Amino acid sequence: MQETKTIRVLIAKPGLDGHDRGAKVIARALRDAGMEVIYTGLRQTPEQIVEAAIQEDVDVIGLSILSGAHNVLFPRVIELLREKGADDILVVGGGVIPHDDIPYLKECGIAEIFTPGTPISQIVEFIKNKLSAGGKKQ
């Protein structure tokens, strides 16, 4: 009998963005889908996010942003994960992100960007499909 590992997700709000309703909706939906979710709260630095992800041994970091600083903050999270040897953590982003910015973010290492209106089921399936049954990202 093969044991399946519960997917651990850290939901974070980087930067000075003070709106977290969407992040809380996603956190609850992922929890309802059987994932273990840690929510860091508002106004987190990339350093705080990466440290929490490593301490909590998460499989996924979900970054939510509405402030427009995604082209700076999202790549910084990826850079710090690489520096800490934790770049096996899957990183996804969401929020109000212009479609023209998405290719750059993916080039930096963000696995996927979910914009407003993305069905929650699509987010859940993306995460599950990207992770193996017992490990980090593929």
Which CATH number is 101's domain given?
3.40.50.280
Q: Is residue 38 domain-resident?
A: yes
Q: Among residues 70, 127, 66, 123, which one has the least CA distance to residue 100?
A: 70
Phi first, then psi: give them for residue 37, nearest 5 degrees. -120, 135
Q: Count of domains in the chain?
A: 1
Q: Is residue 57 domain-resident?
A: yes
Q: What is the pLDDT of residue 18?
A: 84
Q: Is residue 1 domain-resident?
A: no
pLDDT per position as a tens digit, 47-68: 999 999 999 999 999 999 998 9
Secondary structure of the chain: what % helix, strand, coil (to 5)?
40, 20, 40
5: Cα within 13 Å, side-chain hemisphere: 12
Instruction: Provide CB contacts within 8 A for 31, sequence distance 6+.
Output: 37
Residues 69-78: what's their mean pLDDT? Answer: 97
For 120, the domain range is 8-130
Question: Over the chain, what is the mean pLDDT?
Answer: 93
Amino acid at the residue 96: V
Q: What is the pLDDT of residue 92?
A: 98
Q: Is residue 47 domain-resident?
A: yes
Q: Is residue 2 domain-resident?
A: no
Q: Is residue 137 domain-resident?
A: no
| Collapsed DSSP state (helix, strand, coil) of residue 93 | strand
Q: Is residue 36 domain-resident?
A: yes
Residues 118-124: what's their mean pLDDT? Answer: 96
Helices and strands counted in the chain (H then E): 5, 5
